[in-house]
């Protein structure tokens, strides 16, 4: 039997806060004098209530959730649910635990949803009664290169998605691609603005934080914006998520944090960090700050992405594979600066799928963890990437320029994410080149030199 904590509905929000700070976990069961189940309340519910204008002396009667999931003890023992309320509709954000009640609705136990599912699955008796409700996702910076791919995939899988973005690069991207989509909501705004943060977080279960001034040249063009967006608002937003006990907070860092590795080792999440750019140094600050602010209610997941390539609704032609493809197709040349530097690479589809597997993963496998997210087969020298591009764009010539403005050199290993949750990135550069070539061939992008496809040119 699981130890659980209960409260009467005449108690105040303040006393519920007090009870929840005890050792019994995140949920209070609301009961009447006969110990009959009335509802549930979580720390997140209490905090949302305060945000909505209730005060500490208000009774929890005004705010607790009444339509909650529960199972009857005898039905669970027989592994066959009939009258139990174990349906998608009864699920809220408190449904990681489900009260088990007797026929008089007296609470006997409280069990994790997964445990109940295991019991029922063992007997093949779920019978469509219970279909796990999908969490509501907020993608901060979701109108960008990775965010638009992720949004499309999540919507296809019927998740509810809200994007918060200030549309730095393309102010029509939402209108042209997501307007009127089912389960989609857009908030135009700046994540550095606290009011916007509060507006965006309401009614959200999981946050994916992608908003950044991305890349070193772009950060140099707007150093103050970079500090605000890439560091200060990552933290203030994390604080808000912690305050509201948001289920998961997924932050995209970068493998650039490894910077310059003179030994050419295969780096993992415990390897030394040696950043060589302002952008990477800020990433490290944000990673550290997120992990140190972790607590019972806030357990972030950090993904260190390799350099991303491939097509997106918000195309970027300032990333190595994409940029080289553009020049190869339109100018018949591939400029290679230096060429011997090693980089880890990953297709944008794999990044989105990797984020979705974190969303779907058991919390205990991903919370407070850092994962490299790259394709282990694609730790490549820049010259090797250029040669792959030449194979697809046969008329292009390689143009080697000795000096390189970028001295990052590192290769990474992404076995941790594979071992923990079974995710493996496997889309090749060749498949992306085919996709990009078709974009050019069928003129899906009219002017690839438009500065909106290049973060630095847009911001300088
Ligand atoms: N693309 C890569 O190769 C790569 C590699 C490693 C890590 N990452 C990380 O992945 C994340 C997403 O990268 P991306 O390639 O999609 O970048 P992107 O520049 O295409 O997208 C960033 C989005 O954030 C939005 N944004 C920026 N500042 C904002 C603010 N203050 N308020 C609201 N919205 C704001 C922009 O309008 C844009 O839509 C970033 O954290 C980046 O550091 C990307």
- Name the pLDDT band for 2 (thresholds 50, 70, 90): low
Query: Is the CATH code 3.40.50.720 the one for domain 136-459?
Result: yes
By CB neighbour count within 10 A (0-12 exposed, 13-18 middle, 19+ buried), where does 268 fall?
A: middle
Q: Choose which residue among 152, 212, 275, 287 to substitute to test ligand 1 binding: the one with the highest number of ligand atoms within 8 A of its C-beta.
A: 212
Range of lowest pLDDT (49-58, 342-351, 353-362): 49-58
- Measured in Å, residue 306 CA sits from the centre of ligand 1 at 14
Q: Choose which residue among 143, 211, 218, 227 to substitute to test ligand 1 binding: the one with the highest number of ligand atoms within 8 A of its C-beta.
A: 211
- Name the pLDDT band for 24 (thresholds 50, 70, 90): very low
Q: Does residue 419 surpass a pLDDT of 80?
A: yes
Q: Looking at domain 5-122, which CATH architecture does it have?
A: Roll (3.10)
CA-proximal residue: ligand 1, atom 40 (nearest): 210
Distance of CA 86 to the CA centre of its chain: 28
Q: What is the pLDDT of residues 100-130, one digit of tens each?
A: 999 999 999 888 877 887 777 666 555 555 5
For the Cβ of 408 lying below 6 angstroms from any atom of ligand 1, the answer is no
Q: Which atom of ligand 1 is nearest to the CA of 218?
A: 19
CA-proximal residue: ligand 1, atom 39 (nearest): 144
Rounded to whole angstroms, the Cα distance separating 395 from 204 reads 50
Range of lowest pLDDT (169-178, 210-219, 233-242): 210-219
- Measured in Å, residue 209 CA sits from the centre of ligand 1 at 9
Task: Tell me if 135 sits within 8 A of 247, measured CB to CB.
Answer: yes
Task: Tell me if 37 sits within 8 A of 12, measured CB to CB.
Answer: no
Report the mean per-residue pLDDT for the chain. 90
Q: What is the pLDDT of residues 302-354, one digit of tens each?
A: 999 999 999 999 999 999 999 999 999 999 999 998 888 889 999 999 999 99
- Name the pLDDT band for 42 (thresholds 50, 70, 90): confident
Q: What is the pLDDT of residues 248-295, one digit of tens each?
A: 999 999 999 998 777 778 899 999 999 888 889 999 999 999 999 898
Could you tell me the residue ranges of all domains in the chain?
A: 5-122, 136-459
- Name the pLDDT band for 94 (thresholds 50, 70, 90): very low
List residues bridging with 346 in a β-sheet.
308
For the Cβ of 352 lying below 6 angstroms from any atom of ligand 1, the answer is no
Quote the pLDDT of residue 130: 55
Rounded to whole angstroms, the Cα distance separating 250 from 157 reads 19
For the Cβ of 308 lying below 6 angstroms from any atom of ligand 1, the answer is yes
- Measured in Å, residue 212 CA sits from the centre of ligand 1 at 4
Rounded to whole angstroms, the Cα distance separating 222 from 248 reads 30
């Amino acid at each position: 039997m699981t130890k659980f904590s209960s409260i009467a509905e005449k108690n105040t929000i303040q006393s519920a806060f007090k009870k929840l700070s005890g050792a019994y976990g995140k949920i209070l069961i609301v009961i009447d004098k006969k110990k009959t189940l009335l509802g549930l309340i979580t720390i997140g519910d209490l905090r949302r209530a305060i945000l909505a204008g209730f005060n500490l002396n208000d009774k929890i009667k005004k705010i607790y959730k009444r339509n909650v999931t529960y199972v009857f003890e005898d039905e669970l023992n027989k592994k066959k649910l009939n009258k139990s309320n174990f349906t998608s509709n009864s699920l809220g954000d408190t449904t990681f635990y489900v009260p088990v009640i007797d026929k008089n609705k007296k609470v006997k136990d409280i069990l994790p949803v997964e445990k109940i599912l295991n019991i029922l699955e063992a007997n093949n008796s779920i019978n469509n009664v219970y279909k796990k409700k999908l969490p509501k996702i907020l993608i901060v910076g979701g109108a960008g290169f990775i965010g638009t791919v992720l949004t499309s995939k999540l919507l296809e899988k019927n998740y509810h998605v809200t994007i918060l973005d200030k549309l730095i690069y393309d102010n029509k991207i939402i209108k042209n691609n997501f307007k009127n989509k089912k389960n989609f909501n857009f908030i135009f705004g700046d994540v550095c603005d606290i009011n916007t943060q509060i507006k965006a977080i309401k009614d959200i279960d999981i946050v994916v934080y992608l908003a950044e001034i991305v890349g070193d040249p772009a950060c140099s063009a707007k150093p103050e914006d970079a500090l605000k967006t890439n560091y200060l608002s990552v933290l203030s937003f994390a604080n808000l998520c912690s305050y509201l006990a948001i289920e998961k907070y997924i932050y995209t860092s970068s493998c650039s944090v490894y910077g310059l590795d003179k030994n050419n080792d295969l780096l993992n999440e415990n390897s030394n960090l040696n950043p060589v750019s302002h952008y990477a140094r800020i990433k490290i600050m944000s990673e550290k700050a997120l992990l140190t602010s972790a607590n019972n209610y806030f357990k972030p997941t950090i993904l260190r992405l390799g350099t991303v390539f491939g097509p997106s609704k918000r195309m970027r032609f300032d990333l190595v594979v994409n940029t080289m493809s553009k020049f190869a197709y339109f100018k018949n040349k591939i400029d290679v600066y230096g060429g011997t530097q090693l980089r880890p690479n990953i297709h944008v589809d794999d990044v989105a799928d990797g984020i979705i597997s974190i969303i779907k993963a058991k919390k205990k496998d991903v919370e407070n963890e850092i994962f490299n997210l790259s394709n282990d087969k694609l730790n490549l020298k820049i010259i090797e990437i250029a040669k792959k591009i030449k194979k697809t764009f046969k008329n292009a010539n390689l143009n080697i320029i000795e000096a390189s403005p970028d001295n990052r050199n590192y290769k990474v290993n992404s076995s941790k994410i594979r071992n923990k949750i079974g995710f493996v990135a496997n889309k090749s550069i060749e498949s992306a080149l085919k996709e990009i070539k078709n974009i050019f061939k069928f003129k899906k992008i009219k002017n690839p030199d438009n500065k909106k496809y290049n973060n630095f040119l847009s911001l300088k």
